[in-house]
Structure 1
């Protein structure tokens, strides 16, 4: 009892601790893996010490009441001293029993090596593993994750949130910042090498002639090439009109030297007029025979690209030669630089088409998610599947993180940290034990007297 009185700041029978006398000592000399005690923790520990003092004070109070009641009994007083002594005696038993139970969680009572005491320091690793298993079984199961996400209604809340213009602006700004940061961090040389290598590898791995032939065949069948032919006819006619002298010089320059000059000139004029007439007719007559010849040529060429081995082989050789040229690789590199500069500029400009379209798309998505139940169900299903995949795939890693973290904590410091957080409430157990024990003792003594025991 004397030892209990002298150690009132801690627990009855608890050895004096340096950190109680110097609150900063535990945190400053904390071993590796220990907790750091912050000011809030120190305030909690002071609260625990106050509650310990109150609980211990109640124990001392009932002990004094018991001593007084027994003294009165021994002095010959009858009646009330017996009831008071019985209540006080049971109160002391309850207080001591609960003191032992509370103290045994964090340390050995009175320093004695009693089995099943100092539970938190000695069973810390086991508690960590048990906690990890508990979390894995009760929080990281697929059914629990699905039920929780379904109850939260992520898509509905997200839709309502995105439908607000201020929130859409915020998300747009964050996305723009992230995109700009990602493009800024990337090295141009690395991206250009990757893009160039990917394009070259993809082109080498796939034969392009059949695809080009199928596309050309569809274009010819739909008449999509006619506007190109119209443009070529107009340009050819315009060129002939502007460069008539050049055409006649070319014709006369190729005439034999023995022909008279006036004959060469007449022939050149005749050739030029025929060419001009031919170009004008092709320009103005959609059903001109030459146009039909072009149609047949393109149709035959489309078939050859798809089925003629020699044509396909020549196209492949041409493709390889083109991709291997330095100018093409430089074009790929310059294209990436241009695209990056354009995207970065658009991300920085609040009024750019990119950001405006992104904002509009977010608002539209939010409105649809708020009103379209099928869309919400689909998004919720995707989120649930993704979350279940993560927790089922990485459950062991998550639970081992808990157990390994707890195992790395210092046992003594862990005990003190936990006691600082829950010790104040645990002291109410001692107070309740004192009160309940006294009431139980009083009831038992009263019943015994009533039965004549």
Structure 2
């Protein structure tokens, strides 16, 4: 029984919730078989040619049987019996194998014979069995681990990465992925996350002891003296430029009952003494004021580490600074600068970022090629990851196979399978005819020899 060749692929893509055996109540969309293409048409032509040849062979042995039977009844001789027996057994073998092959795809001659049209009627069960077979024999942790171990992914990956052209390709792909990720991220979201993370981390960590330890090391090493030198130099320069302002400030603070010329003299004297003091402090490394600064900073470092009141005040100042909008804006705006820097580096083939990434990839490839322990470690990671995936998602994968097969159109599925394997199945019919004829000939010969 032949199917019509003019069917379109539309039916193949239709989920079968009502027409497919066992398909009622299936949830979610299913994907049907692909529409027939030129390759399918060519396969079907090959199947038809083989069917015609097998059927022609059946007709031939039937004609031979008829002629041999007629010749035997007409007294043609003993040879007619041998030919008749061989042809008769050949017909039986051909018909039996035709029935077996046909029963896979459809009901022979349209008769409702039990256990026929196996693929259309048992499609869902075959899909479930296929999913179970794949799950047990292909998606087991042991099978996947053994296969990966035999492949030696670590060594192959290392040799591949050690090639400069491949390292360039990986670097380019990583740069593209990095640019894409940074482009997709919204600045407002990232800035909010960065600001919140920095603020939370700063609030959770007491800074006074760390600042005290740092200041203590700076003072012990004399690192603060350059700052003192700079302050003295700038202070002396400022006093030289703003002498009148200093004297006016002193005059403005004098009592109202003192004469103006006295206030002027006092202001000049204060200014000269202040200028001299700053100049001496600038020019004399061993000036007593410098020693006082050293002692003050050392004492302050100790208080930062051990004095509860000082530590509490520093924490209060820290919280106040972090809460100011200007500081939050500064923290948030840092992301934009970092992102622009990274994007520019990712786009520039000669940037330090890409050059270092390329060098790291080449180095990794060389190490994986030469270091057996590293290769074993990489292989172990891959085996663990693959084992976890197949163990965790095996039911989903096998379920996909089962549900996909269940969603196929039964008739179209049968036609598809027949197009792929039907040509080889026709050889069963041909072999059945030939083997049946030989078996019939052998049986007849033995019977004659035994005098039957």
| TM-score tier after normalising by the smaller chain length | 0.7 to 0.9
Q: 1:236 to 1:189 in 2, by over 3 A?
A: closer
Instruction: Kindly state the Cα deviation for residue 218 of structure 1 after the two structures are TM-superposed.
Output: 5.2
Match of 2:121 in 1: 122
For 1:101 and 1:286, the matched residues in 2 are separated by: 114
Change (3 A) 1:331 1:431: same
Q: 1:194 to 1:168 in 2, by over 3 A?
A: same
Change (3 A) 1:116 1:215: farther
Would you say how many aligned residue pairs link Structure 1 and Structure 2? 427
Please tell me whether residue 32 in structure 1 is matched to residue 35 in structure 2: no
State which drifts further: 438-447 or 173-182: 438-447
Contact 1:252 1:268 in 2 (8 A): no
Q: Quote how far apart the aligned CAs of 1:244 are.
A: 4.1
Question: How far apart are 1:446 and its partner, in Å?
Answer: 2.0
1:243 paired with 2:248, answer no
**Contact 2:89/2:440 (<8 A) preserved:** yes
Q: Whole-Å Cα distance in 1 between the matches of residues 442 and 289 of structure 2?
A: 119
Cα distance in 2 for partners of 1:183, 1:260 equals: 66
Measured in 1, the distance between the counterparts of 2:279 and 2:158 equals 66
* CA displacement, residues 71-109 of structure 1 (integer Å, 9 cap, x when unaligned): 221111223222222221111111111111111111111
The alignment partner of 2:284 has SS state of helix
TM-score by length of 1: 0.86
Shift of 1:235: 0.6
Gap change, CA 1:31 and 1:155, over 3 Å in 2:
closer
After superposition, give the CA deviation of every residue in 1:320-373 in whole Å (9 maximum; x if it has no partner). Answer: 322222212322332111222222211111111111111111111111111111
Q: Write out per-residue CA displacement over residues 196-237 of structure 1, whole angstroms, 9 at most, x where no aligned residue.
A: 233334434x1333xx5236415634768632x122122123
Contact 1:105 / 1:120 at 8 angstroms: preserved in 2?
yes
Is 1:277 paired with 2:259? no
Which consecutive unaligned segments of at least 5 residues does structure 2 have? 16-31
Residue in structure 1 matched with residue 206 of structure 2 by the alignment:
208
Matches within 5 A, 1:4-403: 14=1, 16-17=2-3, 19-20=4-5, 22=6, 25-30=7-12, 32-33=14-15, 34-35=32-33, 36-204=35-203, 206-209=204-207, 212-214=208-210, 216-217=212-213, 220-221=216-217, 226-227=222-223, 229-245=224-240, 250=246, 253-254=249-250, 256=254, 257=258, 259=262, 261-262=264-265, 265-282=268-285, 289-290=291-292, 292-304=294-306, 308-403=307-402
The equivalent residue for 1:409 is: 408
State the match for 2:22 in structure 1.
none
Change (3 A) 1:312 1:67: farther
Query: How many angstroms apart in 1 are the aligned matches of 2:195 and 2:382?
Result: 36
Contact 2:212 2:302 in 1 (8 A): no
1:38-76: CA deviations, max 9, x gaps? 221111111111111111111111111111221221111
**d(CA) in 2 for partners of 1:219 and 1:385?**
49
Q: Pairwise CA RMSD of aligned residues?
A: 2.6
Q: Which moved more, 1:244-253 or 1:109-118?
A: 244-253
Cα separation, 2, equivalents of 1:421 and 1:448: 42
Distance 1:132 1:285 in 2: 89
TM-score normalised according to structure 2 size: 0.87
Counterpart CA distance in 2 for 1:104 and 1:322 is 85
Q: Which runs of 5+ in 1 are unaligned?
A: 1-13
**Alignment partners' CA distance in 2, 1:286 and 1:371:** 65
Shift of 1:264: 5.1
> Compared with structure 1, are the counterparts of its residues 216 and 364 closer, same or farther at alpha carbon in structure 2 (3 Å cutoff)?
farther
**Cα offset for 1:410?**
1.2
